[in-house]
Amino acid sequence: MDIPGHIDPVPVPRPVTPRADGRTDILGLPKAQIADLFREAGLDAKQAKLRAKQVWHWIYHRGVSAFEDMTDIAKTMRPWLAERFVIARPEVVEAQHSSDGTRKWLLRTADNHDFEMVFIPDADRGTLCVSSQVGCTLNCRFCHTGTMRLVRNLTPGEIVGQVMLARDALGEWPKGRMDVGEVEDESEYRADGRLLTNIVMMGMGEPLYNFDNVRDALKIVMDAEGLALSRRRITLSTSGVVPMMDRCGREIGVNLAVSLHAVNKETRDEIVPLNRKYGIEDLLQACADYHGASNARRITFEYVMLKDKNDSDEDARELVRLIRKYDLPAKVNLIPFNPWDGSAYECSDPARIRAFSNIVFEAGISAPVRTPRGRDIDAACGQLKTAAERKSRAELDRLAEEKQAALG
Ligand code: SAH
Ligand code: SF4
């Protein structure tokens, strides 16, 4: 059978277009690099280091994006910085709020590429689903993002910027963004009591094909002086880029999720074409070798339930056999397929999903069925972008204004 989709993605996408105003965006850059930039712009080494430290604190602990608001920096220095540098957030093109609390944003880069971000609140946590690329080089056949071309990798700033935007929207900067000059209480930086507690790299794109930028962004998210989120609360999802998995464990150290979706070569070749390059056995071996995985930090296997494709009792038993064979500390996430216009598959019946889940569960492996969220707002991966492209420009402008007003 001739299966559509490339298996040899080009991991060198289009470069970022420099900003039209010539300023340098410092969001997402390591503190030392910001100091270097300040020095190159004319500050002496000591000043540059001190200013970088102050600016960094304002950006990540206070959520401030205007140099003018950085009140412990000399008044004359602030316009000097603003002329040369910028702390940019992705632009919000559209913000949607589902009746179940799920929120979804269509975001735009400074060089005009749209991508998505989703926030999913639960009783005990709030999970932000972050994108790593605009589009995707892989063509998983059930995934709407897979129908788009890869435009470019997101930069570290655009990845961290998503978390910053979510904090803006949820009002989660300590003591309000303009509250200045008081002694800070470190306890306010803990995730406790916050809406945004977890991050999953499960938005648009394949994070392991944008490894350096994803790593650099997550380093800032995890940095105690950055956004200070624990690595245990961050999960990276890959469709199975085997050669990068070891580096992911060692250099990023976050939880791993693997989009398995099928247990035999024929089916996985069809629905996750990357399988023709990195097969199931190699993928599971890389999982067994994943640095930091243990019974306390299990690897999540994502499995999208496709009717008559991958959902039989036999498939469930084979899944159990494979997990045992590689002795994997695993949990299985069963995802009801979210159909989109033109998709080639249907979602399995609820009874079939339950039967599948029971077989895995009875083998002692947790296999919850993920509740579909935000169905009223096209929350399936890649759908908002396409829906928005069908809307008129005027309507989008109106929605953006409404959103701006709602945020105050
Ligand atoms: N590229 C990475 C991360 C982004 S996709 C990866 O493939 O793992 C994250 C998840 O979105 C995938 O595991 C897939 O299960 C899910 N997904 C994509 N399209 C879907 C759809 N139409 N219905 C249900 N889940 C979908
Ligand atoms: Fe890309 Fe992941 Fe979608 Fe596959 S499932 S096309 S890897 S975003």
- Tokens read off for 127: 């999970």
- State yes or no: is 381 an active-site residue: yes
* pLDDT number for residue 17: 74
393: pLDDT strictly greater than 80: no
Torsion of CA 321, 324, 329, 333, to 10 degrees: 10
Residue 368's alpha-carbon distances to 4, 247, 290, in angstroms, are 31, 29, 23
pLDDT band, very low/low/confident/very high, at 376 (cuts 50, 70, 90): confident
Angstrom distances, CA of residue 64 to CA of 23, 67, 164, 171, 189: 18, 8, 10, 12, 15
**pLDDT band of 374, cuts 50, 70, 90:** confident
Q: Residue range 2-21: average pLDDT?
A: 59
Shortest-distance ligand to the CA of residue 340: 1
Give the ligand 1 atom nearest the CA of 238. Answer: 8
| Closest listed residue to residue 381, CA positions, set 116, 154, 140 | 116
**Separation between Cα atoms, residue 275 and residue 208, nearest integer Å:** 15
| Amino acid (1-letter code) at residue 1 | M
Q: Give the pLDDT score at 21.
A: 87
Q: Higher-confidence residue: 404 or 44?
A: 44
Read off the pLDDT of each residue in 153-182 and give the average, rounded to a whole number.
Answer: 79
Pocket test for ligand 1, best of 130, 143, 256, 310 (most atoms within 8 A of CB): 143
Closest ligand 1 atom number to CA of residue 336: 24
State the pairing for strand pair 152-153/234-238. Answer: unpaired
Give the closest ligand to the alpha carbon of residue 138.
2
State the pLDDT confidence band at 290, using cuts at 50, 70 and 90. very high
Q: In this predicted structure, what is the pLDDT of residue 179?
A: 40
pLDDT tens string 239-259:
999 999 999 999 999 999 999
Distance CA 86, CA 291 (A): 37
Centroid of ligand 2 to alpha carbon of 140 (angstroms): 5
Pairing of strands 103-108, 91-97: antiparallel
Distance CA 331, CA 354 (A): 16
Tell me which residue has tokens 């930090």.
297
Gyration radius of the chain's alpha carbons: 22
Alpha helices (H) along 25-170: 31-40, 45-57, 77-84, 156-170
* Angle of helix 280-288 versus helix 313-325 axis, rounded to 10: 50
Which ligand lies nearest the alpha carbon of 146?
A: 2
How far apart CA 197 and CA 293 sit, in angstroms, is 21
**Nearest ligand 2 atom, CA 139:** 6
Give residues with Cβ within 8 angstroms of 186, minimum separation 6.
none
Protein residue with least CA distance to atom 8, ligand 2: 205
User: Both tokens of residue 277?
Assistant: 């390059």
- Summarised one tens digit per residue, pLDDT across range 301-359 is 999 999 999 999 999 999 999 999 999 999 999 999 998 888 999 999 999 999 999 99
Least confident of 18-32, 209-223, 372-386: 372-386
* Known active-site residue 116: yes
pLDDT at 7 over 70: no
Alpha-helical (H) ranges within 91-235 are 156-170, 211-222
* This prediction's pTM: 0.88
pLDDT per residue as tens digits for the range 99-128: 888 999 999 998 899 999 999 998 889 999
Domains (range + CATH), the chain: 24-86 (1.10.150.530), 91-406 (3.20.20.70)
- Taking CB atoms within 8 Å and a gap of at least 24, the contacts of 218-221 are 218/159, 218/252, 218/254, 219/30, 219/252, 220/28, 220/30, 220/60, 220/156, 220/160, 221/160, 221/163
The ligand 1 site (C-beta within 6 Å) comprises: 142-144, 202, 206, 237-239, 259, 302, 304, 335, 337-338, 380-381
- Report the separation in Å between the CA atom of 206 and the middle of ligand 1, taken as the mean of its atom positions: 10
Point out the catalytic residue in the list 136, 248, 287, 381.
381
Check if the beta carbon of residue 152 is closer than 8 Å to that of residue 40. Answer: no
Neighbours of 182 (CB within 10 A): 7
Residue 291 confidence (pLDDT): 96
Look up residue 36 and give its amino acid. Answer: D
131-155 confidence digits (pLDDT tens) = 999 989 888 999 988 788 777 899 9
